[in-house]
Each structure stands twice: as structure tokens, then as C-alpha cells.
């Protein structure tokens, strides 16, 4: 089958011709229809996130049709439309038993620790496949399994509920989903903090209150807009100590800051005046859970979460086109997500 692989760290991905994977009894073989190109893939290619085994087929945002079903898999039939949960977990360790598979001791990320979806076929455990309703295009099924799923997990972890206000720091793929998901929760006012004019305009167009962090201190702006109260929940999606601190400081009484962005920087907080006085909480967010995906798929089916055609760009399963998309991701300025549409030969 055709695949596009990382063969050397720091080098362009290469076209490859590799065998169709052989499935085990608990696996399904999926004929890939769409695979999202993610910012993490650019990190893997550049060597920013460590890859242990090469060559590796990248791609962790996957949707397609079941092509073959392992003998122990009862919930799928050949031809079913599915999307894929990217974390393969053991199901037996202490974390998995507690339903916290993102901490599985032997957890493997598809497209990082094992071959991913930049290929005509992929094998995954049956437990990692989720039925994709007919009305959701494969492209959407693929890309929502990463940033949208994590945005939903962040809202869940922050115990976000109807009527609450929210500040979203960063309006890339995560923020774009988070705004729509917050709406699906019947939120109050939504503030989007950004420095990029195009993203601020797009947030405003989607009904959010755009906060230009370049114009003035975003914390002051949010405080002013909320008559000094602050917001109930803040999501930090950028990954900088500065914006993490701002996300905490813009909270009102009993506010929750969910930190999603990654950074190696440290941050200082005044426990008494900035946390204790207001009983605010700082919550770390890592990935998402398989149990959250049915609700996410339902939100996409009911069109509360949507990716209009102008937000999607399609490329072929072609190394040159994929490398160009990865190059563009490194300095992305809009919401356009690139999806590989895998043409089927059969």
C-alpha cells in the first residue's frame, strides 16, 4: 500500500510502498479515507518531540471504513464508517482500570509510537474505533479526534456549565473548537484573547468578544468587560507562562483555569491574593478520554461543532503535498486545517 513516512528526523517525509498491516484478533483494519495533518506531526518531523522508531507512518487524526475485522471484535462489520481514538492503551494497568487511559503505562500514540494514518490502511484495536455517523464527512471525523476532543476534555475537567462565562487564550485549532463547544454547553459570554488580527476578526465573527492582547493587558480588559467580576473558566491553549498567569488572573470567584498549552517555563503565583482569596483552581489538561468521544461525535452530528468548507484544505496522500502542509503549519495564521484525502484504488 502507499504510505508517507518519516524516515529521518529533520528531513522531509518520504513516499513509501509498504505491506498492508496484518491484524490480530482484537484489531480492525481500516481503509483510511481522511487523515488530518496536525501541528504535532510537524514537531515529530522536526525532532522537537522524540520519535523512537523509524521509519514511521505519521498521522493520528484518522477516519475511514472498516475493511477487515479481528475474530474477537464484535461491534464492527466490514464497511462501517469509523473514526479513531489515537491513544492505544492496555486496559489492565492501574490507570486504565480507573478510566484514565491517558496515563496508561504502556500507552502508545498512533502516528508516534506505532504507524499512523498517512497511508491507505491502518490497523487499530477495535476499542480505538468509533462509529462515524453518515452525516459527518470523513475529513471532519478525522480532525475532530485531536484538537476538538482535547478542547472538550478541558471543558469537562474545568466543570464548565451552562450560563458560565469563559476566556479562551489562543484561537488556533483548539480555540476554534473550544468556542463552539462552549456554545454547545449554553455558555455565557465568551472572550477570545489573541494577538493575531485575522484570528481576532474570526472570533468576533463567531460571536465571541475579541480581546486584543497587543492593545492592552488582557486581564484588565476582561475585568473591565465583566464589571470587575472576572470569568468563570479560562482555557490556556497557547503554552506560555505569561498567558497561563493571565488565564488565572482573569478568573472570578470560584473560577477554574484549565491549562492545555505546553511550556517548559515556570510561572509565579501569589497563593493568598491570587488563589486562596477567590478559591480559584488551576487544572492541568492532558489529551482526552475515549469515553468523551461519543458525546463529541454527537455534537458534530447535531452540527453544534462544525468545520465549514472554507476551514478545510484537502491534499492527496503525496509526500510533497504533505511536507508543504507541514511547512505551512509551522507558521499557521488561520483556522485552515489540512486533511489528506486518501483516494481508494479498489
Does residue 149 bind Zn ion (CB under 5 A)? Answer: no
Residue 90 contacts Zn ion per CB under 5 A: yes
Contact 44, 58 (CB under 8 A): yes
State the burial class of residue 178 (Cβ atoms within 10 Å of its Cβ: 0-12, 13-18, 19+).
Answer: buried
Q: Which is nearer to Zn ion, 89 or 256 (CB)?
A: 89
- Binding of Zn ion by 89 (CB under 5 A): yes
- Residue 31 near residue 65, CB atoms below 8 Å: yes
- Piece of the chain touching Zn ion by CB under 5 A; list 97-105, 161-169, 254-262, 333-341: 97-105
CB nearer to Zn ion: pick between 153 and 256: 153
Min dist CB 104 to Zn ion, Å, is 3
Q: Which of 13, 23, 142, 146 touches Zn ion by CB under 5 A?
A: 146
* Contact stretch for Zn ion (CB under 5 A) within 146-154, 200-208, 209-217, 305-313: 146-154
Q: Which stretch binds Zn ion (CB under 5 A): 12-20, 38-46, 185-193, 229-237?
A: 38-46
For cell 520519535, the residue is: 51
Nearest to 233 by CA among 268, 195, 186, 281: 281
196 preceded by cis ω (within 30°)?
Answer: no
Alpha-carbon distances, residue 255 vs 27, 150, 224, 285 (angstroms): 43, 20, 17, 16
Single out the segment in contact with Zn ion by CB under 5 A; choices: 18-26, 99-107, 221-229, 254-262: 99-107
In the complex, least distance from residue 109 CB atom to Zn ion, rounded to whole angstroms: 10
- Contact residues for 143 (Cβ-Cβ < 8 A; gap 6+): 36, 61, 173, 307, 312, 337, 339
Stretch that binds Zn ion, among 27-35, 75-83, 89-97, 313-321 (CB under 5 A): 89-97
Total interface residues for Zn ion by CB under 5 A: 7
Residue 252 three-state SS: strand
Task: Rule CB under 5 A: say whether 96 interacts with Zn ion.
Answer: yes
CB of 221 to Zn ion, least distance (A): 31
Q: Is 260 in the site for Zn ion (CB under 5 A)?
A: no
264, exposed or middle or buried, with CB in 10 Å at 0-12, 13-18, 19+?
exposed
Residue listed under C-alpha cell 504533505: 322
User: For residue 171, what is its C-alpha cell?
Assistant: 484561537
Binding-site member from 12, 16, 93, 315 for Zn ion (CB under 5 A): 93
Spatial distance between the Cα atoms of 312 and 35, rounded to a whole number of angstroms: 12
Nearest approach, Cβ of residue 143 and Zn ion (Å): 8
Query: Within positions 53 to 82, which residues make up the interface with Zn ion, using CB under 5 A?
Result: none
Q: Which is nearer to Zn ion, 222 or 329 (CB)?
A: 329
Any contact of residue 104 with Zn ion (CB under 5 A)? Answer: yes
Q: Which part of the chain contacts Zn ion (CB under 5 A), choosing from 37-45, 223-231, 265-273, 324-332?
A: 37-45
Q: Which is nearer to Zn ion, 90 or 289 (CB)?
A: 90
By the rule CB under 5 A, 195 interacts with Zn ion: no
Give the integer Cα–Cα distance in Å for 324 and 15: 14
Cell of 59: 498521522
SS3 content of the chain, % helix, strand, coil (to 5): 30, 25, 40
Smallest distance, Å, CB 339 to Zn ion?
A: 11
Task: Point out which residues bind Zn ion (CB under 5 A).
Answer: 38, 89-90, 93, 96, 104, 146
Amino acid at each position: 500500500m502507499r504510505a508517507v513516512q518519516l524516515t529521518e528526523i529533520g528531513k522531509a517525509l518520504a513516499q513509501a510502498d509498504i505491506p498492508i498491516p496484518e491484524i490480530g484478533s482484537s484489531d480492525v483494519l481500516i481503509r483510511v479515507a481522511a487523515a488530518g495533518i496536525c501541528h504535532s506531526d510537524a514537531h515529530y518531523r522536526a525532532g522537537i518531540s522524540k520519535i523512537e522508531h523509524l521509519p514511521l507512518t505519521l498521522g493520528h487524526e484518522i477516519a475511514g471504513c472498516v475493511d477487515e475485522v479481528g475474530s474477537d471484535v464484535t461491534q464492527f462489520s466490514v464497511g462501517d464508517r469509523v473514526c479513531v481514538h489515537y491513544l492505544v492503551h492496555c486496559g489492565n494497568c492501574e490507570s486504565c482500570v480507573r478510566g484514565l487511559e491517558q496515563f496508561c503505562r504502556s500507552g502508545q500514540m498512533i502516528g508516534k509510537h506505532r504507524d499512523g494514518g498517512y497511508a491507505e490502511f491502518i490497523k487499530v484495536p477495535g476499542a480505538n474505533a468509533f462509529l462515524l455517523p453518515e452525516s459527518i464527512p470523513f475529513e471532519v471525523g478525522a480532525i475532530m479526534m485531536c484538537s476538538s476532543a482535547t478542547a472538550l476534555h478541558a471543558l469537562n475537567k474545568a466543570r464548565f456549565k451552562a450560563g458560565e462565562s469563559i476566556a479562551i487564550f489562543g484561537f488556533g485549532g483548539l480555540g476554534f473548537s473550544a468556542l463552539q463547544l462552549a456554545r454547545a454547553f449554553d455558555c455565557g459570554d465568551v472572550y477570545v484573547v489573541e494577538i493575531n488580527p485575522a484570528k481576532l476578526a474570526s472570533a468576533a465573527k463567531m460571536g465571541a468578544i475579541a480581546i486584543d492582547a497587543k492593545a492592552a493587558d488582557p486581564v484588565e480588559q476582561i475585568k473591565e468587560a465583566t464589571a470587575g467580576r472576572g470569568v468563570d473558566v479560562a482555557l490556556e491553549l497557547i503554552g506560555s507562562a505569561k498567558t497561563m498567569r493571565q488565564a488565572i488572573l482573569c478568573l472570578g470567584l470560584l473560577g477554574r483555569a484549565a491549562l492545555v498549552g505546553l511550556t517548559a517555563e515556570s510561572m509565579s503565583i501569589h497563593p493568598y491574593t491570587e488563589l486562596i482569596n477567590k478559591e480559584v483552581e488551576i487544572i492541568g489538561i492532558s489529551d482526552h478520554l475515549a469515553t468523551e468521544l461519543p458525546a463529541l461525535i454527537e455534537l458534530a452530528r447535531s452540527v453544534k461543532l462544525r468545520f465549514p468548507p472554507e476551514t478545510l484544505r484537502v491534499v492527496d496522500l503525496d509526500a510533497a503535498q504533505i511536507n508543504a502542509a507541514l511547512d505551512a503549519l509551522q507558521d499557521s495564521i488561520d483556522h485552515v486545517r489540512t486533511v489528506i484525502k486518501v483516494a481508494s484504488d479498489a
